[in-house]
């Protein structure tokens, strides 16, 4: 296998502003790969969470970047949204002296078969395969036109591999063959059901259990479902073994690496690794030496032995804090606020208190800070170097597709008011760097958000592109405009 010790790996996930489980597998697989030391840098980015696909490039300073979509199929996201947001020209993009390689999504790799078999054995241990129907479940419908193909391919591969199941079939939530018809679709006394999704969420926790008849109705709170731990479910004289989403399987980390390997083989990649830059880390070290020791709500303490400790700024100097030791713990410290509510916006001033994170070295510090405030260190460095470019709001709204395609139909005044309100509501600590258009600065309620507001001893939190909260708010205003127009036309 080609060495990637000179390269960065970026794993792209969908993420969610409401479901904390959506991005968890992507972060976990990235962490597994990071710990193996195969790449110089490993980062994640998301469509609906931070860092977004513009910001993530500021998190890595390798000259070669591999991008692997942690998506189940090809289609709208992998063929349109990701290339557009990541500014890709094709499988290989050359930009700003960097080589960016765009790999296939994990879900279409042939090795997914291995994962499905492993998951089936895990969920129904000691259950004879010859007395078991294996059902692979997808969403179906135009929401993801290629998801059925990815599942059908897996069904065909498992059937052709003669792995001993009584039968293997596909079923869908919203198109035939329907999941709700599982009892007539299958014939074996045992039925193993594996959702072919990247993450657990509404579909695997709630919708599919209802369609299978395991639950009367949708209702249990996300992440509190014990549905995967109650196997077998005895229904209609059969034993159902229900699994979590296939994307949560730990071997998915290997499938991500398989896609990188396949890219190299397919495109004849033979790199001559160059010198590493480490520019982001150097900037961080320089700031710390200059007395800059805060970022957002976090205090950075440099210990005499060269290690670092992080805590909430309000906890600086306090005893009795709960001590953590891994950079990756930052992800979980930052995940929920004090009330246990998910924090999709990391720069909201709602970081929990009462913890201390001890980190061995600068590399660990950089990683932890990227979990607390994704891409913030890299963006601050790029700003200092006058290399940071921001995306005008009109450009961002204008490139939206799907349900957000009308979001740009708001007036300038509405845009300024909407930004002022949205960013104020979130109390976001970032400073907006983007203008309305390339020639029009922010005005009205949005203007104050463009002014520096961080303390002299703090690394600034910057916003180079409006976040998903603003895009959603713009869509809402645009829809109200449309409805008002229609009403006026009728009246």
Q: Are 134 and 123 in contact (CB under 8 A)?
A: no
From candidates 8, 155, 331, 466, binder to ligand SF4 by CB under 6 A:
466
- CA dist 329 and 347 (Å) reads 18
Is residue 442 at the binding interface for ligand SF4, with CB under 6 A as the rule?
A: no
- Span near ligand SF4 by CB under 6 A; candidates 85-93, 145-153, 465-473, 483-491: 465-473
Is residue 428 at the binding interface for ligand SF4, with CB under 6 A as the rule?
A: yes
Sequence-ordered list of residues with C-beta below 8 angstroms from that of 370, at least 6 positions apart, any chain: 43, 59, 376, 377
Q: How far is the CB of 431 from ligand SF4 (least distance, A)?
A: 7
Question: In DSSP terms, which residues pair with 65 in a beta bridge?
Answer: 8, 100
Is residue 423 at the binding interface for ligand SF4, with CB under 6 A as the rule?
A: yes
Edge-to-edge, what's the strand order for the sheet holding 98-102? 39-46, 4-13, 64-69, 98-102, 92-95
Residue numbers 329-358 binding ligand SF4 by CB under 6 A: 347
- Span near ligand SF4 by CB under 6 A; candidates 9-17, 78-86, 425-433, 477-485: 425-433
Is residue 430 at the binding interface for ligand SF4, with CB under 6 A as the rule?
A: yes
Q: Are 129 and 166 in contact (CB under 8 A)?
A: yes
Q: How far is the CB of 391 from ligand SF4 (least distance, A)?
A: 11
Q: How far is the CB of 112 from ligand SF4 (least distance, A)?
A: 35
Q: How far is the CB of 463 from ligand SF4 (least distance, A)?
A: 3
- Span near ligand SF4 by CB under 6 A; candidates 19-27, 275-283, 304-312, 427-435: 427-435
- CA dist 316 and 164 (Å) reads 60
Q: How far is the CB of 467 from ligand SF4 (least distance, A)?
A: 3
- Span near ligand SF4 by CB under 6 A; candidates 2-10, 15-23, 201-209, 466-474: 466-474
Task: Provide the strand spans (E) within 243-326.
Answer: 294-295, 298-302, 308-312, 322-324
- CA dist 20 and 202 (Å) reads 11
Query: Dihedrals φ, ψ of 174, to 5°?
Result: -125, 15
Q: How far is the CB of 389 from ligand SF4 (least distance, A)?
A: 15
Distance separating the N- and C-terminal Cα atoms of the chain: 68
- CA dist 126 and 192 (Å) reads 13
Is the bond leading into 416 cis (omega within 30 degrees of zero)? no
* Of 22 and 347, CB closest to ligand SF4: 347
Which of 373, 356, 385, 359 is closest to 282 using CA atoms?
385
Q: How far is the CB of 433 from ligand SF4 (least distance, A)?
A: 9
Half-sphere exposure (Cβ direction) of 157: Cα atoms closer than 13 Å:
17
Q: Are 104 and 48 in contact (CB under 8 A)?
A: no
Burial, 60: exposed, middle or buried (Cβ in 10 Å; 0-12, 13-18, 19+)?
buried
Q: How far is the CB of 335 from ligand SF4 (least distance, A)?
A: 17
Q: How far is the CB of 69 from ligand SF4 (least distance, A)?
A: 23
Other Cβ atoms closer than 10 A to 339: 7
Is residue 469 at the binding interface for ligand SF4, with CB under 6 A as the rule?
A: yes
234: tokens are 């005895």
* Of 55 and 207, CB closest to ligand SF4: 55
Query: Dihedrals φ, ψ of 490, to 5°?
Result: -70, -45
Which of 68, 63, 93, 30 is closest to 271 using CA atoms?
63
User: In the block, which residue shows the tokens 């209609």?
Assistant: 236
From candidates 368, 470, 473, 478, binder to ligand SF4 by CB under 6 A:
470
* Of 52 and 248, CB closest to ligand SF4: 52
Which of 476, 416, 374 is closest to 56 using CA atoms?
374
* Of 310 and 423, CB closest to ligand SF4: 423
Q: How far is the CB of 12 from ligand SF4 (least distance, A)?
A: 19
* Of 78 and 466, CB closest to ligand SF4: 466
Half-sphere exposure (Cβ direction) of 358: Cα atoms closer than 13 Å:
10
Q: How far is the CB of 426 from ligand SF4 (least distance, A)?
A: 4
Is residue 415 at the binding interface for ligand SF4, with CB under 6 A as the rule?
A: no
Is residue 463 at the binding interface for ligand SF4, with CB under 6 A as the rule?
A: yes
From candidates 426, 436, 450, 460, binder to ligand SF4 by CB under 6 A:
426
Angle formed at CA 365 by CA 3 and CA 87, multiple of 5 degrees:
55
Q: How far is the CB of 429 from ligand SF4 (least distance, A)?
A: 8
350: tokens are 């709602």
From candidates 86, 467, 473, 478, binder to ligand SF4 by CB under 6 A:
467
* Of 179 and 379, CB closest to ligand SF4: 379
- Span near ligand SF4 by CB under 6 A; candidates 32-40, 307-315, 376-384, 464-472: 464-472
From candidates 112, 393, 415, 432, binder to ligand SF4 by CB under 6 A:
432
Is residue 462 at the binding interface for ligand SF4, with CB under 6 A as the rule?
A: no
Is residue 137 at the binding interface for ligand SF4, with CB under 6 A as the rule?
A: no
Positions in the binding site for ligand SF4 (CB under 6 A): 347, 422-423, 426, 428, 430, 432, 463, 466-467, 469-470
């Amino acid at each position: 296998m080609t060495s990637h010790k000179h390269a960065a790996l970026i794993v792209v996930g969908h993420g969610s502003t409401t479901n904390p489980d959506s991005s968890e597998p992507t972060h976990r697989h990235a962490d597994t790969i990071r710990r193996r030391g195969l790449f110089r840098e490993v980062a994640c980015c998301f469509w609906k969470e931070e860092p977004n696909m513009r910001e993530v490039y500021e998190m890595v300073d390798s000259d070669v970047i591999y991008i692997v979509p942690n998506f189940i199929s090809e289609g709208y996201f992998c063929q349109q949204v990701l290339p557009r947001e990541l500014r890709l020209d094709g499988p290989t993009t050359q930009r700003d002296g960097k080589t960016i390689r765009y790999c296939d999504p994990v879900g279409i790799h042939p090795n997914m078969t291995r994962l499905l078999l492993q998951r089936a054995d895990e969920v129904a241990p000691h259950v004879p395969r010859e007395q078991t129907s294996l059902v692979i479940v997808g969403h179906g419908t135009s929401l993801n036109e290629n998801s059925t193909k990815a599942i059908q391919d897996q069904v065909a591969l498992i059937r052709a591999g003669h792995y001993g199941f009584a039968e293997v079939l596909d079923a869908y939530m919203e198109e035939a063959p329907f999941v709700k018809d599982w009892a007539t679709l299958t014939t074996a006394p045992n039925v193993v059901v594996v959702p072919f999704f990247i993450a657990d969420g509404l579909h695997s926790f709630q919708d599919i259990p209802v369609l299978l008849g395991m639950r009367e109705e949708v209702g249990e709170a996300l992440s509190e479902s014990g549905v995967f731990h109650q196997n077998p479910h005895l229904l209609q004289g059969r034993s159902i073994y229900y699994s979590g989403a296939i994307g949560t399987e730990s071997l998915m980390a290997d499938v991500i690496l398989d896609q990188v390997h396949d890219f190299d083989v397919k495109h004849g990649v033979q790199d001559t690794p160059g010198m590493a830059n480490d520019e982001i880390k150097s900037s961080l070290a320089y700031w710390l030496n200059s007395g800059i020791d805060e970022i957002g709500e976090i205090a950075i303490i440099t210990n005499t032995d060269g290690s670092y400790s992080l805590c909430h700024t309000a906890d600086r100097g306090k005893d009795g804090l709960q001590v953590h030791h891994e950079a990756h713990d930052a992800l979980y410290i930052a995940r929920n606020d004090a009330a246990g509510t998910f924090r999709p916006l990391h720069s909201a001033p709602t970081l929990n208190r009462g913890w201390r994170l001890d980190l061995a070295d600068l590399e660990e510090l950089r990683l932890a800070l990227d979990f607390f405030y994704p891409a913030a260190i890299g963006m601050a460095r790029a700003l200092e170097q006058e290399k940071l470019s921001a995306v005008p709001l009109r450009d961002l709204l204008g490139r939206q597709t799907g349900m957000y395609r009308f979001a740009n139909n708001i007036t300038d005044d509405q845009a300024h008011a909407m930004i002022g309100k949205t960013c104020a509501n979130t109390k976001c600590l970032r400073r907006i760097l983007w203008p309305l258009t390339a020639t029009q600065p922010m005005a009205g309620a949005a203007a104050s958000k463009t002014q520096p507001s961080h303390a002299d001893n703090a690394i600034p939190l910057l916003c180079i592109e409006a976040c998903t909260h603003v895009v959603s708010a713009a869509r809402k205003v645009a829809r109200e405009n449309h409805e008002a127009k229609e009403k006026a036309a009728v009246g």
